[in-house]
Amino acid sequence: MTTSNQPQKSDAVLGGNSPTQAVVMGGIRGIEYALAHTHTRPQQQEILQAALQYGREGIAIIMQYLCHSDKDLRNFAYSLLQERQEAYIKKALALFTPSGTYYLELQQLLRRRQWETANHWTQATVRELCHAPQQVTKSHILNLPCPDLLVMDRLWREASHDRFGFTVQSQIWQQCRQLLWDENRALSLFGDRVGWRVHNFFFNTYHWRRCGELHFSLRAPRGHLPWINGIFLVKAINDRLSTCQQEK
């Protein structure tokens, strides 16, 4: 009888360049040890492939690599799992996009209602995906991959019960645009509705909130979050979202 901790044909072989230097480690512990002491991508990929032989324990190790710092290893881990039919694997892979981004962290932040951290995470991810050196502009949004935009939107909507999210903001923007033909006035109305523009009644002036001035709470107005670069991206994100939803 064999157990998962006994040497098998798929066990990890570690060591030097000759068989006499090699160390055979059996079972899932051998896989973990091999990954911890192997630093070349081809060897790591070979060990991850071997992990498939160890059932759910091996798959759990592979799933950890979906959020690895090395994009190629993230994509390789995804490729090992994408044909699996287990429900829990499909659920996890629904958070992984072709860009190599794994959205588990964002999902966890949103479920814990850490709205401010989740907003910063979303901002940083959009900036990275759009290849924006600093602030994201309208032209950058054209480079935002559709699968990523749709996953981020879904996670924000799910966690807030459709109070926050890009789709929610898009709906509000379209309502404002239908009411006012002038785009600048429509943007001002949008800012009022989502709480990004504040009226100072004493001085009769208006102030546009910056990111640090937002309300990171479910008590904030509908569509208040996420905030990428404020009012400057509302129309661009709406247009990109519309294109992505049509292509889905």
Residue-wise pLDDT for 86-110, tens only, equals: 999 999 999 999 999 999 999 999 9
Q: Say what the pLDDT of residue 39 is.
A: 86
- What are the structural domain ranges in the chain? 12-93, 104-247
Instruction: Count other Cβ atoms within 10 Å, centred on residue 103.
Output: 22
185 near 176, Cβ under 8 Å? no
Q: Which residues of the chain have pLDDT under 70?
A: 1-25, 203
* Closest CA relative to residue 80, chosen from 102, 60, 95: 60
Question: What pLDDT does residue 22 have?
Answer: 28
